[in-house]
Each structure stands twice: as structure tokens, then as C-alpha cells.
């Protein structure tokens, strides 16, 4: 099967259209995706547990269509579920040795909605322990490698999902985003991601039920596929007090360049920016302007909010892991460091951080008022060696903690606005560079429309993968308690 004809590489919305039209079966799409898992996963380590019931799920979609029944809008699409999201009867380790054999009894809400919409769960995708980190590795499954260069990081924490998308193993990737986990790997792997408004896709079950800092969402090979998938899983749920008031509207397509007015900010975190990253973003800006868009540069500085985010992150970890604090030393370095940071906080610390968060939102709303969206680089650096937990320097400046380098994304997590990441091009080394698109409150449709317009100006190809990996291959792994 040639790359050009491989149905696994089609846009997700085209895969679904063909399945519904009878031009492609759900079973054949799943087999095409599994073939790419066999071909590339041994080297890249994106999918860590395969669903042994995936073929039966695909066959059920085909049977529904044959009986002239509607299996749902995502009929037959192959999805990867981040290994911090519960899947009934399918091992969910959270990337932690403490839960290496954990098998949930129930699906998380987002998984249930994906299944009800007709999607087929291929399996679980790799993540750092409890999604704590911008480089995808853990002691259960090891490192996930970048498909553009396997010696480099795929980003995190939804790194396995991004790699699986870029290599055609799945149609859509489910993930979560606290400080950038749906945007960082999208940038590093050359795909699209969206951090939606928290609660647009309710995150339940959750120990921290009133969590309004983390968001559940999707990555895809292009922004239109995100919009297509998001419409099937968005909407309120009585189990969650943090929910969108209504489902996503049925809008799609690209924002027109002519007549659009966008703002652009460079180094919003004041940590410096790699010259190649900046050059790729500026080349994209030039193409957007040549196409008729008005892009005004603004000197946005959100560096004052860095410490406030770290406070909120520490509080978030303690809220989620309060029942596990007695074994704090059993967790890996990233999780344990966050827990200790959170346990040292005072109510005054948390109150002050919340007020800084308010200031960030007010500043962004004021900036966005005359614009359709704000554009800014997603990552300040290109992918770094996969063996590193995090890059020690950015632009020659040393990083104080393992999250400093992801400040361009985590600062934009604070105001609760939708933020997309779309490929802006390649740097001089041939590595992807991502551009963030910040939308208005509950403006997911507009943010994705702007991201789609950007993706059409200079479309990014998928990585040229090397020869087939000759090492051990992943087989269906039976779920064991």
C-alpha cells in the first residue's frame, strides 16, 4: 500500500465520509492503522497498550451501516486515548509503576462519548507519569520518540497521541492540557492541537471535580479534523460542575484572510526564543499578510504570571493527589516535586495567584477586543534530545525548573480561553514549528477557523519516516488487573 493511497493518512473527516458512503469499511481503516503501528511503533513508542476488542468494535460499525443504522458522526474513526484517561476493561497506567496493572471498570466521559459517536478505540497512547512533563517518558513504557527525528523529544504530555497522528496510526488523539499538553507535542510533531475552554469537554471522573485549570480535548492532523471531532464530544454533563453551557456549534472551514485582523506577540514569557523558531513564525506572518490578512505586532509580556501558574499547578496536584500524599516518595521526580511545592503553599499564596490569573485574563480580553485572534509561537525552542527530561537552557538562559521552558503555553492556560496550535512551517533543521492561536471566550470555532486559514497558507507535510523498524513489535495486550 503506497503512502498516497493509504486510508490511514486521509483527514479524519474524509475517512468518516468514505465509511458512511460505503467506499471504505471501518475494519479496513482499522487494519490500515494497525499496519502502521506494526511498521513504526517499535521505534517511536507512541501506542503502549492495544485494545484487543478494536476489530470487534470496527466490525460493529460496519454491521450498523449494513443494517442502515446510524453508528454516529465519527463512524469508524480510529482514536488513541491518552494513558491518563480511564478506559473500561483496558489497562490505564497513568504512566506510573504504581498503577502498571490498573484496569478501570468504567470509561471516562470523553471515551464514552467517542464510542457513542462511533469511534473505534485503537488503544492507549504514551504519557509522562500522570501527565507531569513536556517530554513523554515514564518508567512503565519508556520514551516516545519524535517521528521527524527519533533522537529527539516528541513533546508532552500527550506525546504518544501526537506521534500516532503524525504516523497515521490513528485518526484522532484524545488528550488533556494543563500547561500545554495538547499544544507542545502538536508543535514538536507537526500536527494540530486545541486546548478548549475548560469544561467544554467535562473531565470526569476526577478527584478534583471543580478543576478549571486543566482541559480535555483533541489533536488531529489538521484543525478542521479537531472541529469535526470536538463537535461529537463537547457539551455539558450533570456529573461535572465545570461544564460548557451548550455543545459546540456546527461551524467549520477557514477564516478569510482578506479582512481578518490578528495580533502577533513574540516572546510572551520573556525566556528568549530560538532563531529558527522565530524565523519560521515570521515567514508564516509574511505569507498571511501577502494573502490579505492584517497582522499587527504587539509587545505582550505575561512573564509576571509565571510564579502564579506554578502556585496554581502545585495546588492542582495536591487537589488531585490528596488521597495519595502518604506515598509521595513513590512517585517520579516530576509528580513528587509538584506535590511538595503544593504542600508548601499558604492560602495567601493561592489567593494571590488567583488574582494574577484574573489580571492575565483581563489583559488578554483587552488585547483581543479589536482582533479576531492572537498569534504567538507555541514553543521557544525546537525539539531537544529525547534523553533529557527538559532542556537546560533556552536561548542560552538556564531554566530554573523543568517547566520553565513551556511558559509560552502554560501562561496561556491561565485565562481559560481556547488556544489552538497549528504548524507554522519547518526550521532550518527541517523540524516542525507550531503557532498558537488564542481565541475569544468560548470561541473555539473562531480559533480553529483561524488555525485552518493558517494551515492552508503553507500546508505542512507529514514526516518522512525511515525504513521499517526491525525490533520487537507490539501485540494486542490483554488487560490484567
Measured CA distances, 195 to 91, 214, 461 (Å): 25, 9, 23
Q: Give yes or no for a contact between 160 and 125, defined as CB atoms under 8 angstroms apart.
A: yes
C-alpha cell of residue 375: 498569534
d(CA 274, CA 427): 10
Helix (H) or strand (E) segment spanning residue 262: strand 261-264
Residue among 26, 23, 124 at smallest CA distance from 77: 26
What angle in degrees, to the nearest 10, is found between the helix axes of 444-457 and 275-290?
Answer: 90
In the set 25, 96, 171, 181, the catalytic residue is 181
d(CA 481, CA 100): 9
Is 82 among the residues known to form the active site? yes
Task: For residue 151, count CB atoms less than 10 angstroms from its CB and return exposed for 0-12, middle for 13-18, buried for 19 or more.
Answer: exposed
In the set 82, 243, 455, 479, the catalytic residue is 82
C-alpha cell of residue 241: 460542575
427 DSSP 8-state letter: -
Residue among 212, 274, 209 at smallest CA distance from 244: 212
303 DSSP 8-state letter: G
In the set 25, 96, 153, 157, the catalytic residue is 157
Q: Can you list the positions of beta strands (E) in 267-313?
A: 294-297
Residue among 378, 428, 433 at smallest CA distance from 408: 378
C-alpha cell of residue 419: 488556544
d(CA 159, CA 182): 8
Q: Which residues are catalytic?
A: 82, 157, 181
Amino acid at each position: 500500500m503506497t503512502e498516497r493511497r493509504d486510508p490511514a493518512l486521509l483527514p479524519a473527516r474524509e475517512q468518516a465520509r468514505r465509511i458512511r458512503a460505503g467506499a471504505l469499511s471501518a475494519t479496513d481503516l482499522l487494519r490500515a492503522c494497525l499496519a502502521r503501528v506494526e511498521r513504526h511503533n517499535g521505534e517511536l513508542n507512541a501506542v503502549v497498550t492495544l485494545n484487543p476488542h478494536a476489530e470487534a468494535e470496527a466490525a460493529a460499525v460496519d454491521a450498523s451501516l449494513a443494517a442502515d443504522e446510524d453508528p454516529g458522526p465519527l463512524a469508524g474513526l480510529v482514536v488513541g486515548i491518552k494513558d491518563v484517561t480511564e478506559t473500561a476493561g483496558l489497562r490505564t497506567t497513568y504512566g506510573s509503576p504504581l498503577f502498571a496493572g490498573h484496569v478501570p471498570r468504567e470509561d471516562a466521559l470523553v471515551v464514552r462519548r467517542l464510542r457513542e459517536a462511533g469511534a473505534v478505540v485503537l488503544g492507549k497512547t504514551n504519557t509522562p507519569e500522570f501527565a507531569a512533563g513536556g517530554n513523554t517518558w515514564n518508567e512503565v513504557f519508556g520514551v516516545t520518540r519524535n517521528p521527524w527525528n527519533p533522537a529527539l523529544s516528541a513533546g508532552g504530555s500527550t506525546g504518544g497521541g501526537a506521534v500516532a497522528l503524525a504516523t497515521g496510526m490513528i485518526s484522532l488523539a484524545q488528550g488533556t492540557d494543563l500547561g500545554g499538553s495538547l499544544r507542545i507535542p502538536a508543535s514538536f510533531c507537526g500536527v494540530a492541537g486545541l486546548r478548549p475552554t475548560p469544561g467544554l469537554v467535562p473531565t470526569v471522573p476526577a478527584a478534583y471535580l471543580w478543576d478549571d485549570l486543566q482541559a480535555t480535548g483533541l489533536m488531529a492532523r489538521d484543525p478542521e479534523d479537531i472541529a469535526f471531532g470536538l463537535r461529537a464530544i463537547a457539551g455539558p454533563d450533570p456529573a461535572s460542575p465545570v461544564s460548557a453551557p451548550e455543545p459546540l456549534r456546527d461551524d467549520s472551514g477557514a477564516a478569510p484572510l482578506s479582512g481578518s485582523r490578528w495580533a502577533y506577540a513574540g516572546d510572551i514569557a520573556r525566556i528568549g526564543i530560538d532563531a529558527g523558531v522565530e524565523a519560521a513564525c515570521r515567514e508564516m506572518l509574511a505569507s498571511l499578510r501577502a494573502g490579505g490578512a492584517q497582522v499587527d505586532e504587539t509587545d505582550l509580556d505575561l512573564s509576571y504570571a509565571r510564579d502564579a501558574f506554578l502556585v496554581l499547578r502545585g495546588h492542582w496536584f495536591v487537589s488531585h493527589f490528596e488521597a495519595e500524599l502518604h506515598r509521595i516518595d513513590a512517585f517520579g521526580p516530576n509528580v513528587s516535586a509538584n506535590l511538595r511545592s503544593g504542600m508548601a503553599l499558604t492560602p495567601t499564596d493561592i489567593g494571590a495567584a488567583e488574582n494574577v490569573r484574573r489580571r492575565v485574563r483581563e489583559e488578554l480580553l483587552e488585547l483581543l477586543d479589536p482582533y479576531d485572534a492572537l498569534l504567538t509561537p507555541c514553543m521557544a525552542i525546537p525539539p531537544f534530545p529525547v534523553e533529557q527530561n527538559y532542556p537546560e537552557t533556552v536561548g542560552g538562559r538556564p531554566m530554573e525548573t523543568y517547566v520553565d521552558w513551556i511558559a509560552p503555553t502554560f501562561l496561556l492556560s491561565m485565562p481559560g480561553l481556547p488556544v489552538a496550535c497549528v504548524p507554522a512551517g519547518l526550521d532550518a533543521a527541517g523540524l516542525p514549528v507550531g503557532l498558537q492561536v488564542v481565541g475569544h471566550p468560548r470561541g473555539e470555532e473562531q480559533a480553529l477557523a483561524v488555525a485552518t486559514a493558517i494551515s492552508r497558507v503553507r500546508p505542512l507535510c507529514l514526516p518522512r519516516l525511515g525504513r521499517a523498524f526491525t525490533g520487537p513489535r507490539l501485540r494486542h495486550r490483554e488487560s490484567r488487573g
